[in-house]
Structure 1
Amino acid sequence: MKIQMIGMDHSLAPVEIRERFSFTTAGAEAAMKTVCATPGVEGCILLSTCNRTELWVSAKGPVALPGILCGLKGVDPADYREYLVCREEGEAVAYLFALASGLRSMILGEDQILAQVKDALSRAREAQCCGGTLEVLFRHAVTGAKRVKSQLLLSTANASAAELAIDRMWKEGYDFTGKRCLVIGNGEMGKRSASALLERGAQVTVTVRQYRSGRVEVLPGCSRIDYGQRYQCLPQCDVVVSATSSPNVTIRVEELKACGLGHDVLFLDFAVPRDIDPEAAQLPHVTLYNIDQFSVPPSQELERQVRRAEELLCQEQARFEAWEACRDLIPRVDALGTYLAGEVDFRIRDVVKELVKPGRDVRDNAGAEALRQCLSAMEQVTRDG
């Protein structure tokens, strides 16, 4: 099977382009099933995060991936050619191993991408879309990433984009102490944002949605309001962070204008698609940043660790390539096993017949002589075997 991928990430496309190619969980499942219906495609996996969208395919031959990915979004591939990259075979395999380890992330060495790769594999498996080749490839990539995480301490590991952005602003002189902060979103990114703000002395309120399953918990130290009350809360805020996985805008420019902000408010949008209407940046008292405006340059020590990580990944990649090279032998081994099983069955049939008579004697008479004959026959079979 030929391994191919197409994708865009933070290094190729700005957030306004990436958000057009983002997929919800349900949308990703439907998209994978559509791709798997393409003639010649064995399996596919769709990875969609804040910083990247990637479509992975295993097929009997080349597949027109730009047309397929853009077709899923109803756009013309020619309009997005500069933002897309295609990789195949060895190049694609090496890229996936580095990606799962955080070596291709905006925040070098971050951990979230490993969980996202695992989740993408799980979704494809549940949708019965991943196929055998990609199943094994992604499992090897996850194993390689775990080796890197367990043997190396990457200096920016375990930090999310939200945490590093808040940390950078603090280092540049923004004092969060006592600031009234609203965090929109109580998922993983929202919780990391709230935690980072709490550590710097902010007063944090988190929006939550009400679900039938019961009360939604927030981090200790945070206040909570219903998501529907967010606009009423804005005039009292100094900082607003929005970090949801929703495809819908959480802060609209018209509603924000109606709030009548009377002081400067810092808005941080860490979502893709973006949560906050970009036009909000034109309003008085609004300073708006998105996820693309924060990056952390790697240190020399981190670069040394990256080289060591690449060595570890090469070892795991070699294991996958060995499996792939031997994959064509599996049908031949299965066929040989079936043949040998038939041969064994044929050859022992006559021996079993010889055992039947003394066995019946044992059953019917249970005498010492019959038992002796039965044991002698069994011993003969053992010696002949």
Structure 2
Amino acid sequence: MKNYHISKHPSFFAVGLSYKKAEAEVRGKFSLDVPKIDSIILDAQKQGVEGLLTISTCNRTELFGFAQQPFQLIKLLCDHTQGSIEEFQEVAYVYKNHDAINHLFKVGTGLDSQILGDFEIISQIKQSFSRSKKHGMSNPFLERLCNSVIQASKRIKNETELSTGATSVAFASVKYILHNISDISSKNILLFGTGKIGRNTCENLIKHTNNKHITLINRTKEKAEAIAGKFQLLVKDYGDLQTEIRKTDILVVATGAQLPTISKSLLHTKKPLLILDLSVPKNVADNVLELDNVTLVHLDQLSQITDENLNKRKEYIPKAYDIIEEVKLDFIKWLESRKFAPVINALKAKLMTMKEEELDFHSKKLQDFNQEQAELVSERIIQKITKQVANHLRKSDADTDDSLALIQEVFQLELNSK
């Protein structure tokens, strides 16, 4: 069975961009839908990439995988999106080996989220791993790593208050509405798009506004009806979008389109209209701002809203990092045992054979030879030697592949193929 581990050739990389340096417009160029993710995975397979995890949300796009160079992964991303390598390099980050592992833990536990404590990313990681596994692009390393990140996420939710209160972009949008619109229960609200953010926004609107005038529109009407049925809301056909916008006071856009679905030409209302665009890439064209009665807010602006809840959540960041370190330590131990164990075990067996040969030789040569004491002393020496070797291999600055190869060559070790 092939060993998957962090090694010089290939290395484990994380390449990507996020809200921290990339504006929504740039993130939109690199966003990935499911067909694009599948195409990247299949293309990576052909190029000999060993294991790949692809994450694309409204605030980040990232590839995690084994490659000779990070450029292999960067090129894969650029080949399958509208973004160029030059644009990527301006806002991108690249992490290698243990730094890449650390980054995935931060992302998966909500510590790197646009809104601190937003744990919705963990479902994305689960789905991404499932897609990789489906296409034969997972491996024991990625599976164990994803499971460890999921475990850390669960523990942080259960053992801290990092996610106290609602923390998502969907909730931030509702909070913005509550703070900026008076008499909210009497306003007409139109939700266009019923993906995950759309569904969550819908749920938060009902929970926090006590509004009975919410209409849903989706390109696929059945999806809107499924959500509307749950909350007893009104559903309209996609063809009615322009007419419904005329009636509405608040338009929430949460579609997954690659190009704007709402533009100035669709808006023919004279009353004040608040538009919240929760989509990446942006699904509302900037030309709507040419209309005096329209206010447009994008999710990047919403995510900057801070409150008492957020400040309280910040207190639990150190505890969250402690949990990550605990879970990560277990993962690293597993990784080391998977990588070093065959060589360490073979070395120990070789030394034991040498010991047996020497003891047998000296027992025949020496008249008063103490077999029991010799066994005890030699076994302690073997333990110390194997411990020293293991400690050397665990050093982060050691070239473990070269060291493992040298040990095998010097002691002429035969490793168990299993």
Q: Once the 2 structures are TM-superposed, how far is the Cα of residue 207 of structure 1 from its aligned partner?
A: 1.1
Matches within 5 A, 1:291-310: 291-294=299-302, 295-297=304-306, 299-310=310-321
Q: Is the 8 A contact 1:110 1:157 kept in 2?
A: no
Q: Render the CA deviation track for 1:282-339: whole Å, top value 9, x for unaligned.
A: 2232111111111233744322211101000001111111111122357679999xxx
Q: How does 1:282-361 map to 2 (within 5 A)?
A: 282-294=290-302, 295-297=304-306, 299-329=310-340
Q: Which residue of 1 aligns with 2:237?
A: 226
1:101 aligns with 2:109: yes
Which stretches in structure 2 are left out of the alignment for 5+ residues?
1-5, 348-418
Q: CA RMSD in A?
A: 2.6
Distance 1:281 1:21 in 2: 25
Q: Kindly indicate whether the alpha-carbon contact (under 8 Å) linking 2:224 and 2:235 is maintained by their aligned counterparts in 1.
A: no
Tell me the amino acid that sits aligned with residue 35 of structure 1: A
Partner of 2:387: none
Bigger shift: 244-253 or 270-279?
A: 244-253
Q: For 1:302 and 1:28, locate their aligned partners in 2 and report how far apart those are by CA, in whole Å.
A: 33
User: In the alignment, which residue of structure 2 is the partner of 1:123?
Assistant: 131
Give the secondary-structure state (helix, strand or coil) at the position aligned to 2:316. helix
Query: % of aligned pairs identical?
Result: 25
SS of residue paired to 2:70: coil
Q: Any idea what SS the aligned residue of 2:102 has?
A: helix
Question: In the TM superposition, what are the counterparts of 1:60-139 in structure 2 within 5 Å?
Answer: 61-64=68-71, 65-73=73-81, 75-139=83-147
Residue 94 of structure 2 aligns to a residue in which SS? strand
Q: Give the greater-gyration-radius structure (CA).
A: 1
* Whole-Å separation in 2 of the counterparts to 1:308 and 1:300: 15
Gaps of 5+ in 1: 337-385
Give the equivalent residue in structure 1 for 2:255: 244
Aligned partners of 2:259 and 2:283 also within 8 Å: yes
Letter in structure 2 aligned against 1:319? D
Q: TM-score, normalised by structure 2?
A: 0.73
Q: 1:131 to 1:266 in 2, by over 3 A?
A: same
Q: What code does the residue aligned with 2:107 have?
A: L
Whether the aligned pair in 1 keeps the contact of 2:39 and 2:80 (CA below 8 Å) is no
Q: Which residue of 1 aligns with 2:15?
A: 6
2:323 alignment partner AA: L
Question: 1:161 — aligned with what?
Answer: 169
Contact 2:216 2:224 in 1 (8 A): no
Q: Quick check: 1:43–1:132 contact (8 Å CA) kept in 2?
A: no
Deviations 1:236-257 (A, max 9, x none): 110000112233432133233x
3-state SS in 2 of match to 1:116:
helix
Moved more, 221-230 or 163-172: 163-172
Matches within 5 A, 1:369-380: none
Contact 2:36–2:80 (8 Å) recurs in 1: no
Match for 2:217 among 184, 207, 211?
A: 207
SS in 1 for 2:205: helix
CA distance in 2, matches of 1:150, 1:289: 33
Alignment partners' CA distance in 2, 1:210 and 1:100: 31
Q: How many aligned positions are there? A: 331
2:296 aligns to what SS in structure 1?
strand
